Amino acid sequence: MAITDFHPELRAAARRLPRAPIRPGVLPAVRRLQNLQKRLPAPGVEVLTTAEGITIRLHRPPGRTEPGPALLWIHGGGYVIGTAQQDDRMCRRLARELGITIAATEYRLAPEHPYPAGLEDCYAALQWLARLPAVDPTRIAIGGASAGGGLAAALAFWARDRGEVKPVAQLLVYPMLDDRSGHHTHLDKVEARLWNRRSNQFGWSAYLRDADPDSAVPARRTDLGGLPPAWIGVGTLDLFHDEDIVYAERLMAANVPCELEVVEGAFHGFDQIAAKTLVSQEFFASQAEHLRTAFAV
């Protein structure tokens, strides 16, 4: 694949990015770096710990005086790395522009904590958010990027089946939905940035371990009816492109409203790596509009 296959605004970033940054040997070093970053000051962010011991980074909109809409945000990292802090900039911006409360949750990571540990943490955080005095429990959305999008999709099933909190929307940003993609050799022709097929195999095997994939993997679930309306966004040069398109089609076939945003020539995580480009700004605006519409209902 030539560098010219990437979106013109993303070519410079694509040249600099690694193609397979995460593998077992580098995992400890990446986590050490992220733990150091956690110690940096974060003006305007409340860092809270729930009764269950889950850390929440809370972004409150300015001027909020009565219960309003909220978003539970789940960070990415292939189920094995990542922190809620990495999405502070995006969460602050969404909270400010939409006037919503955003709770970005930490969750236990694999391989030390395989399924369902991380998903249990996300569900507990959703329940916590619904009880927050500043939040209208009838106007809560769930969302995440990459593995966080996969967890958000899985969380939508738990919320539907348990009926305790009923999200009004799910925001799935290039979500990691299907463990079977790691075995599709045709994806090798995609010179993926940030996350490739081998990384995907490692992330899913660490997360699933001995779990039944038919229950744990969103793309393997058979009954998609009754899930919250969804927004799914992905680039054409993202490893998750095919699985995300198929999942969007299955949602629509199950009569679940789904808005699909496909960005030509975009790689995984492009909107965070090249946040100031017009293509990334438009990607963000599409997400914000989906939430604005969901919260207005």
Range of the domain at 227: 3-34+44-296
Query: If DSSP states are collapsed to H, E and C, what string results for 253-267?
Result: HCCCCEEEEEECCCC
Q: How many residues does the chain have?
A: 297
Pairing of strands 46-49, 55-59: antiparallel
Active-site pick, 238, 241, 244, 290 = 238
Dist CA 230 CA 259 (whole Å): 6
At 67 the three-state DSSP class reads coil
Active-site pick, 268, 271, 280, 290 = 268
Q: Checking phi first, is residue 156 left (phi over 0); if not, alpha (psi -120 to 50) or beta?
A: alpha
Q: Let me know if 280 is a catalytic residue.
A: no
- Residue 39 maps to a domain: no
Query: If DSSP states are collapsed to H, E and C, what string results for 144-179?
Result: EECHHHHHHHHHHHHHHHHCCCCCCEEEEECCCCCH
Q: DSSP labels for 90-150? A: HHHHHHHHHT-EEEEE--PPTTTS-TTHHHHHHHHHHHHHHH-TTEEEEEEEEEEETHHHH
Task: Give, in degrees to the nearest 5, the angle at Cα 211 between 207 and 217.
Answer: 70
Q: Let me know if 183 is a catalytic residue.
A: no
Average pLDDT score over residue span 4-26: 81
pLDDT tens track for 254-286 = 999 999 999 999 999 999 999 999 999 999 999
pLDDT at 187: 54
pLDDT tens track for 129-179 = 999 999 999 999 999 999 999 999 999 999 999 999 999 999 999 999 999
CB neighbours of residue 75 within 10 Å: 23
CATH label of the domain that carries residue 272: 3.40.50.1820
Phi and psi angles of residue 96, each rounded to the nearest 5 degrees, phi first: -70, -45
In this prediction the pTM is 0.94
- Residue 59 maps to a domain: yes
Q: What are the beta bridge partners of residue 105?
A: 56, 74
Q: What does R_g of the chain's alpha carbons equal in angstroms?
A: 18
The CA–CA distances, whole Å, from 144 to 17, 68, 73, 96 equal 22, 20, 5, 18
Q: Let me know if 146 is a catalytic residue.
A: yes
| Strand order through the sheet with 258-263 | 46-49, 55-59, 101-105, 68-74, 135-145, 169-173, 230-235, 258-263
Count of domains forming the chain:
1
Residue 3 pLDDT level (bands cut at 50, 70, 90): low
- Residue 53 maps to a domain: yes
Residue 90 pLDDT level (bands cut at 50, 70, 90): very high
Place of tokens 């509009």: 289
Dihedral sign (CA 23, 24, 29, 33): positive
Contact 187, 239 (CB under 8 A): yes
Active-site pick, 75, 146, 178, 181 = 146
pLDDT at 81 over 90: yes
